[in-house]
Amino acid sequence: MKEKLNQIIDRFNELESLLADPKVISNSEKLKETAKEHTFLNSVIPKANKYLSLLHQIQENKLIIDSDDEELKSLAIEENTKAESELPELEDQLKILLIPKDPNDNKNTIIEIRAGTGGEEAALFAADLFRMYSRFAERNVWNREVIASNGTGIGGFKEIIFSVKGTSVYGMMKFESGVHRVQRVPKTETGGRLHTSAATVAVLPEAEDAEIDINESDLKIDTYRASGAGGQHVNKTESAIRITHIPTGLVVTCQDEKSQHKNRTAAMKVLKSRLLAQEEERLAKERADARKSMVSTGDRSAKIRTYNFPQGRITDHRINFTSYQLDSVMDGQLNEFIEQLKIADQQALLQTE
């Protein structure tokens, strides 16, 4: 740890010099990259200095303890006892700070919610999840925009795809991917029978153009008339878009915008993000042989959470965490769950370091 922290301090000092270098200042990309690393290390430096200071203090006091000065020896033993008790917690804090950050954490995200088993009740639950994430976005002052949706007659969604833009969106939302199960008496149920249904959530980091290169020859693009209620633009013009990525077989449709051009742009954004997520998932599976995380962000077929309405209970099965604040969670107060998932993920990463 000592050697690693000294290297970090040397690198931090080097970055300080680079930020004052005219060559770096005149290069916007280099400046951005340098400033980002400097900001990250700046959060580590105070604890690194304290840790090294404690180690130095312990070493100095050991020399006094080996001397014949009984008065100073007693004081040195007392100081070392205190310093040595502080070191383990400080080391744990440093290990967490030094965990490699997910490069996608600062990205915007595309969220796809689909009704699973449970018919109309599953579609209503998908709509509830959409409202939950929308409220969470509002609480974080993020911008939310619907890209595509397929609604039902009584307010549910067979599918809804939307983007969320803001600070550290993917880093906050990435653990939401998976199967969400609900247990409640459906609005459509007249007999009052408890029903279990599900919806799947996929959280994708929004791909930047430089990350995903798509050949136009790999795309099959179809236009058709949009369906459903929507005024004069619906059913009269072929504004809806269906894009098929031939090499992977991925299909994206978009009809929510009024113009064909806007629908194509939105569909391409979703396609690129799905392709990026597919590549991330492939890499994650390769790494899984060497590192197994207790918190999954890749397996969208895994049941991750149960929402039990009669008991007002919500349980995250990955970390065995239960809260009885179901109404608050459904109103977008997700911070408690997200923090618990982050802690569990950090602990899993520390165990594999």
Question: What integer pLDDT is reported at residue 127 of this predicted model?
Answer: 96
DSSP 23: H
Would you say 163 and 130 are in contact if contact means Cβ atoms under 8 Å apart? no
Question: What integer pLDDT is reported at residue 135 of this predicted model?
Answer: 97
Long-range contacts of 80-87 (CB under 8 A, 24+ apart): 83/54, 83/57, 83/58, 84/58, 86/54, 87/51, 87/54, 87/55
Distance separating alpha carbons of residues 158 and 249, to the nearest angstrom: 21
Inter-CA distances, 285 with 33, 99, 151, 282, 292, Å: 29, 20, 34, 5, 10
Q: Is the CATH number of domain 2-97 1.10.3470?
A: no
Task: Provide the residue ranges of all domains of the chain, joining segments of one domain with +.
Answer: 2-97, 109-211+296-352, 216-285
Would you say 298 and 201 are in contact if contact means Cβ atoms under 8 Å apart? no
- What class does CATH assign to 109-211+296-352? alpha beta
Q: Which residues pair with 110 in a beta bridge?
A: 163, 204
Long-range contacts of 117-121 (CB under 8 A, 24+ apart): 117/197, 117/198, 118/182, 118/195, 118/196, 118/197, 118/198, 119/197, 120/152, 120/154, 120/156, 120/186, 120/188, 121/182, 121/186, 121/187, 121/188, 121/189, 121/195, 121/197
Q: Which of 280, 242, 234 has its CA nearest to residue 259?
A: 234
Inter-CA distances, 188 with 123, 171, 191, Å: 11, 36, 9
Domain 216-285: which CATH number of 3.40.1390.10, 3.40.640.10, 3.30.160.20, 3.40.50.2020: 3.30.160.20
User: Tens of pLDDT along the chain (353 residues)?
Assistant: 788 888 889 999 999 999 998 998 998 888 888 887 888 888 889 999 999 999 998 888 888 888 877 778 888 888 888 989 898 888 888 887 777 777 788 888 989 999 998 889 999 999 999 999 999 999 999 999 888 888 888 889 999 999 999 888 998 999 999 999 999 988 767 667 888 999 999 898 887 655 667 778 888 888 877 665 444 444 455 678 888 888 888 888 887 677 788 888 888 878 888 887 777 777 566 544 433 444 444 445 678 999 999 999 999 999 999 999 999 999 999 999 998 998 888 777 766 55
